[in-house]
């Protein structure tokens, strides 16, 4: 095997909250440089926890890595604080957008310049962000709290663009957005990956969209990866079609299938 070392690799990660609740149970994923990798799974599978373990936000919520390692460019991130990780080029766009609602759009972008490591002056004009998201330019003097949900998501991704990360962790960008906006956001995510060369680890519940933009996907359940592979292969997988894409060979679904679903789920994990 002569593959290049992945930009990010997570090895047998175990995460425990409050010393008692184990959320990740030996999770392993790899994100090659330049790719978009999707992390799929149902509620509570541990997707967001995985991202927090990578970006260093875990201790803020009483979570701790008990075993395993997160390697970024081959180096362990253990012991680094979130701002140090961000400054190494690993930037998380958190679920729920987390816009600074008391700051203007421009000030929100300004904050992300703290993550930049000497590339470009701090007095950047944010023109790049406004080219991707023209709507933000119109609103640049408005408070973040007054933006619509879609605009807030754009601003959240805009902040990540300002940080110029090598690896962007994108948590549920489609959450609470209209189908049209979801299309738009995913189009931009794909373009950012292609044109700026940003590697993206994408966490999504919208498996349809995620499998459209990603090249490789992991499917998580109960804190572990249960299935992974190139998206073309996963899209053909019967279980993925049934449980994540909601298709089942033309047959209508009914509640009677729930039992079957449970059985299959158990088999999967």
Contact footprint for another protein (CB under 8 A)? 55-57, 60, 81-83, 86-87, 91-92, 94, 98, 100-103, 107-108, 110-116, 122, 159, 163
Smaller CB separation from another protein, 50 or 228: 50
Cβ nearer to another protein, comparing 87 with 139:
87
Distance in angstroms (rounded) separating the CA atoms of residues 262 and 266: 6
Burial status of residue 65 (CB atoms within 10 A of its CB: 0-12, 13-18, 19 or more): middle
At residue 47, the 3 state secondary structure works out as: helix
Cα distance between residue 234 and residue 168, in whole Å: 23
CA dihedral 21, 26, 27, 29 (to 10 degrees): 160
Judge contact between 69 and 13, C-beta under 8 A: yes
Q: Tell me how far, at minimum, the Cβ of 198 lies from another protein, in Å.
A: 16
Residue with smaller CB distance to another protein, 162 or 209: 162
Distance CA 107, CA 143 (A): 9
**Least distance (Å) between residue 173 CB and another protein:** 16
- Is the Cβ of residue 59 or residue 230 nearer to another protein in the bound state? 59
Among residues 102 and 251, whose Cβ is nearest to another protein?
Answer: 102
Please report how close the Cβ of residue 59 comes to another protein at its closest, in angstroms: 10
Q: Which is nearer to another protein, 90 or 211 (CB)?
A: 90
Q: What is the CA radius of gyration of the chain?
A: 19
Quick one: DSSP state of residue 3?
A: P
Compute the least distance from the CB of residue 100 to another protein, in Å.
4
Q: Nearest distance from residue 253's CB to another protein, in Å? A: 39
Characterize 117-149 residue by residue with b for buried, 16 or more Cβ atoms within 10 angstroms of its Cβ, and e for exposed.
eeeeeeebebeebbebbeebeebbeebbeebee
Nearer Cβ to another protein (164/224)? 164
Burial of 159 from C-beta contacts in 10 A (0-12 / 13-18 / 19+): buried
Considering the complex, what minimum distance in angstroms separates the CB of residue 85 from another protein?
Answer: 8
Closest contact distance (angstroms) between CB of 122 and another protein is 7
């Amino acid at each position: 095997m002569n593959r290049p070392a992945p930009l990010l690799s997570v090895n047998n990660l175990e995460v425990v909250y409050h010393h008692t609740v184990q959320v990740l149970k030996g999770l392993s994923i790899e994100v090659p440089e330049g790719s978009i990798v999707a992390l799929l799974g149902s509620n509570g599978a541990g997707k967001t926890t995985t991202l927090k373990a990578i970006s260093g936000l875990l201790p803020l919520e009483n979570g701790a890595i008990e075993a395993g390692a997160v390697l970024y460019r081959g180096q362990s991130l253990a012991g680094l604080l979130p701002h140090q990780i961000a400054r190494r080029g690993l930037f998380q766009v958190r679920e729920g957008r987390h816009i600074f609602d008391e700051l203007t759009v421009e000030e929100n972008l300004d904050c992300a310049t703290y993550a930049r490591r000497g590339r470009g002056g701090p007095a950047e004009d944010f023109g790049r962000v406004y080219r991707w998201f023209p709507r933000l330019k119109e609103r640049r003097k408005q408070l973040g709290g007054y933006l619509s949900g879609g605009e807030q998501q754009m601003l959240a991704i805009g902040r990540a663009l300002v940080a110029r990360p090598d690896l962007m962790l994108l948590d549920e960008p489609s959450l609470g957005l209209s189908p049209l906006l979801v299309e738009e956001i995913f189009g931009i995510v794909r373009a950012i990956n292609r044109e700026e060369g940003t590697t993206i680890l994408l966490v999504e519940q919208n498996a349809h969209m995620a499998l459209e933009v990603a090249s490789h996907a992991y499917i998580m359940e109960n804190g572990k990866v249960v299935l992974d592979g190139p998206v073309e292969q996963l899209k053909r997988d019967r279980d993925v079609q049934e449980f994540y894409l909601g298709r089942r060979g033309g047959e209508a679904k009914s509640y009677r299938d729930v039992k079957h679903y449970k059985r299959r789920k158990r088999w999967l994990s």
